[in-house]
Amino acid sequence: QLQASGGGLVQSGGSLRLSCRASGFALDYFPIGWFRQAPGKEREGVSCIRCSGRGSTNYADSVKGRFTISRDNDKNMVYLQMNNLKPEDTGVYYCATDFESPGWGSGWWKWHYWGQGTEVTVSS
């Protein structure tokens, strides 16, 4: 089971840290992806850890240099540190996992296990 948290309302240029807590399994053995869905838009991949092998991280071009994904194995958590937020970052953010990596850039529908979303709103 995955549980995402940490969303909120922030002004443009601000920061938030999202958390994805895993229960029932050790997430350091599995890929964890962060996705987001803006109103009226399709869900898109934001970042992934272990999508491309152990120790790998991947980012969407739109968030490179602003977002950082990390993992705390002791707490069984994955974080998404989001800095310099922009209004276009607004959306519901989800974390997801699977037994094997669907691969960075694969469609969200290829991931089978999802946490509930956490909403991020960035005001201009």
pLDDT at 86: 98
pLDDT at 27: 86
Decide which of 106 and 21 is more confident: 21
**pLDDT score of 15 more than 90:** yes
pLDDT in tens, 47-77: 999 999 888 999 999 999 999 999 999 999 9
Instruction: Compute the mean pLDDT over every residue in the chain, rounded to the nearest whole number.
Output: 95
How confident is the model over 102-111, as a mean pLDDT? 90
pLDDT at 106: 87
**pLDDT score of 28 more than 90:** no
pLDDT at 105: 85
pLDDT at 96: 97
Which amino acid appears at position 10 of this protein? Answer: V
Instruction: Check: CB of residue 3 under 8 Å from CB of residue 87.
Output: no
pLDDT in tens, 79-103: 999 999 999 999 999 999 999 889 8
**pLDDT score of 113 more than 90:** yes
